[in-house]
Amino acid sequence: MVLNVRSRRFNHTYSTTQRVASSYSRFACPERPWRLVEIDVQGSELAAAAPLLDQLLLPCDSVLDHSIGAALWFAAGAQGAVRTADER
């Protein structure tokens, strides 16, 4: 499984990066069923998680720490969407 976290706010088209990551995983372990889980984070979800993340991150407190910590926290939540076309 490949987890991909991104924000919905800017309504990006899906970059090739995540498709590519998924195809690499299949290359490395082709007999395994891989799922690309798309985790779209809303600004409101991020705001709701911010107090908890503040606690988890301490003593790390830079902007970079918060950005990385949030991405990892949502990735580890592992709640997102799969496309049926991606399933094998």
Partner 1 sequence: MRCARPAGSHSAAAGWLTDNRGVRTSYRSPARILLSGLGADEQLGGYSRHAAAFRRGGWPELARELRLDVRRIADRNLGRDDRCIADRGKEVRHPYLDEAVVNYFSQLPACVKTHPSGGRDVGDKLLLRQVACRLGLADAARRAKRAIQFGSRIAKVAPTVS
Q: At closest approach, how far in Å is the CB of 40 from partner 1?
A: 6
Cα distance from N-terminal residue to C-terminal residue, the chain: 12
Burial (CB count within 10 angstroms: exposed 0-12, middle 13-18, buried 19+), residue 63: exposed
Instruction: Provide the token pair at 51.
Output: 């107090």
Q: At closest approach, how far in Å is the CB of 81 from partner 1?
A: 4
Nearest 5°: CA angle at 37, between 33 and 40? 175
Q: At closest approach, how far in Å is the CB of 88 from partner 1?
A: 14
Q: At closest approach, how far in Å is the CB of 68 from partner 1?
A: 5
What is the spatial distance between Cα 29 and Cα 31, in angstroms, rounded to a whole number?
A: 6
Contacts with partner 1 in 48-87 (CB under 8 A)?
50, 52-53, 56-57, 60, 63-85
Q: Is 22 in the site for partner 1 (CB under 8 A)?
A: no
Residue type at 79 in one-letter notation = Q
Residues that bind partner 1 (CB under 8 A): 1, 3-10, 12, 14, 17, 20, 24, 27, 35, 37-43, 46-47, 50, 52-53, 56-57, 60, 63-85
